[in-house]
Chain A
Amino acid sequence: MTILVFAEQRDNTFKKPALEAVRAGRTLADQLGGQVTALVVGSGASAIAGDLASYGATTVKVVEHEKLAYYCALAYAKSIAEAAKKEQATVVLMAATAMGKDLAPRVAVKLDAGLAPDCTAIKADGGKIVATRPVYAGKALLDVAITSPTQVITIRPNVFPAGEPSSEKASAEKLEVAFTDADFAVGVTELSTASGKLDVSEADIIVSGGRGMKGPEHFKLIEELAKALGGAVGASRAVVDAGWRPHEEQVGQTGKTVSPSLYVAVGISGAIQHLAGMSSSKYIVAINKDKDAPIFQIADYGIVGDAFEIVPAVTAEVKKLLGS
């Protein structure tokens, strides 16, 4: 059997979730007795595609087209579905990133396949795959099996380890896809990324601020600690709704669900919808004035006190330790 892994790239660079997906595909193939075909779609992506062998891909296929330099939903979905058919893949795997979440539903329909999105565990149980996925923003976990012959699975970034690359290399084989104008009916024309800004969904360390920060002007304390730790800035719903912080920083049920190694909650009481979005973090630190705040119920380490004094002190200690 073949597992097809779509490994996304932007600017001909793989981000960590793509490598995690290839490795997760390898692990699953080892359990099921199969091989992994990695697929890269883009313009000029052949140059980097071979690297995927070092994360466990048996073969690497590339779809190249000058119009595919930017993400293009229909042409990408077509490429993945055609590759799956040619390779007779029974499982199509990709990361549940902005791109993966946009593609997987289309690919599932094209392949008449069931979809298990945003999974945090996959195991082969007697030749059948059982996928575990958080629902209600992580307040519950669902074990699902896909009953269609082809199965489409997306995995949550930051959960499956990419592991260390081996010295394995593969030569990328071109896969020809006959595109028509209709395949380019929708496409990205411009990409704007805040340079150097780490997104909460990708960060391994997150420092979040809540209403206890008392105003947007005090978030520089949060930003400084995040910077010292090399992490991202997050926010509670209350401060996003108040307009103190942009919504893309919001962690929780109507924001992003995150599972970093370290989550520092500052001045966040821990409303249930916030806890749902971050309680799967490996380590949680709470800094809050109110010793009865629910956030302390799930925090590994807590400091009860004034964030305006404690956060700069923590930042100074981190800088001392890391020389950052």
Chain B
Amino acid sequence: MKLAVCINHVPDTETKVKVGPDGMSIDKTGVNFVLNPYDEFAIEECLRLKEKNGGEVLAVSLGGDAHKDTLRKALAMGVDKAALLKDETPRDSFSVARALADYLKPYGPDVIFFGKQSVDSDDAAVGTMVAEMLSLPSVSVVVKLEVAGGKAIAEREIEGGRERVETTLPAVFTAQKGLNDPRYPSLKGIMAAKSKPIEEQQPSPAATKTQVIAMQKPPAKSAGKIVGTDASAAGELVRLLHDEAKVI
């Protein structure tokens, strides 16, 4: 089974975001970048599918040299090979998807996995766009997956419940938290990752369809009032919510 996992290198979720000097992106000074949290579930699921069905797992990332750290982590977790589509031009979801789809097409994976979204741009779009560009079915926000006999049965999270979805393979999936428990790279894995090659390629050009005009911080919330310091404040709190805020 040929498996591909597309991963991203993003600011840690503890990052305090500051708008950069260009007024259109974040100030990256002192920001710690990590493997996108949702991509860990995607990598883990690919490794499990490989362990069950045989085959190989390819990890792909689009970005600058810094993305090699993230690809190295995927290799340390057990991915077989990695490719960096080296390009630092700002891209939108459509343009990222085009580059990934163009790269993945000749590889012909049976399963392509993504995290359900990158925690930087929060588009939640690239995986499904790649599926459409490759004319493949897809299931997004997957919390459970079974693959057998050229078919997959997935469960995806929807508002207040789950959908059970059947699809033919090849197909694209995007992983939600809860799909599995991602493994930690073993010491052996980390050592092995150092000698695994990372292929570098020039991706197809960055034709974007959106334009960033400005980035701002949301309006700051200020601290309100402390209503009390014990259960006797409950009545006053409920009165404020009813009379002042008018939310109950």
Contact = CB atoms under 8 A, between A and B. Distances in A.
Interface of A: 15, 70-71, 73-74, 77, 97-99, 101-102, 104-106, 108-110, 112-118, 130, 133-148, 185-194, 197-199, 201-202, 205, 229, 240, 246-248, 250, 252-255, 257, 261-262, 271-273, 276, 279-280, 282-285, 291, 296-306, 309-310, 312-314, 316-318, 320-322
Contacts, number: 294
Nearest to A297: B223
B244 to A, nearest CB: 9
Nearest to B116: A101
B148 interface: no
Interface in B9-36: 11, 13-17, 19, 26
Contacts of A115: 92-94, 123, 125, 129, 209-210
Nearest to B209: A114
B38 interface: yes
B137 A147 contact: no
Contact of A282 (B122, B143, B247): B247
A147 B237 contact: no
A15 B224 CA distance: 34
Contacts of A138: 218
B159 A202 contact: yes
Given A296-B223, A304-B226, A99 B132 contact: no
A186 B137 contact: yes
A87 B210 CA distance: 23
Contacts of B231: 305-306, 309-310, 312-313
B58 to A, nearest CB: 22
Most-contacted residue by chain B among A146, A197, A312, A320 (CB, 10 A): A146
A117 B97 contact: no
Chain A contact residues: helix, strand, loop or mixed: mixed
Contacts of B168: 185-186
B122 A118 contact: yes
A255 B37 CA distance: 11
Q: How many of chain B's residues touch chain A, expressed as a range?
A: 35 or more
Interface of B: 11, 13-17, 19, 26, 37-38, 92-94, 97, 119-129, 131-133, 137-141, 143, 156-168, 171, 176-178, 208-218, 221-235, 237-238, 240-242, 245, 247-248
Nearest to A248: B157
27 contacts: A73-B139, A105-B93, A106-B129, A108-B129, A112-B209, A117-B93, A134-B218, A139-B15, A141-B218, A143-B214, A143-B215, A145-B211, A186-B171, A198-B160, A240-B177, A254-B13, A255-B177, A262-B245, A273-B13, A283-B247, A296-B226, A303-B226, A303-B234, A313-B231, A316-B234, A318-B248, A322-B248
A57 to B, nearest CB: 23
A187 to B, nearest CB: 6
B213 A136 contact: no
Nearest to A114: B209
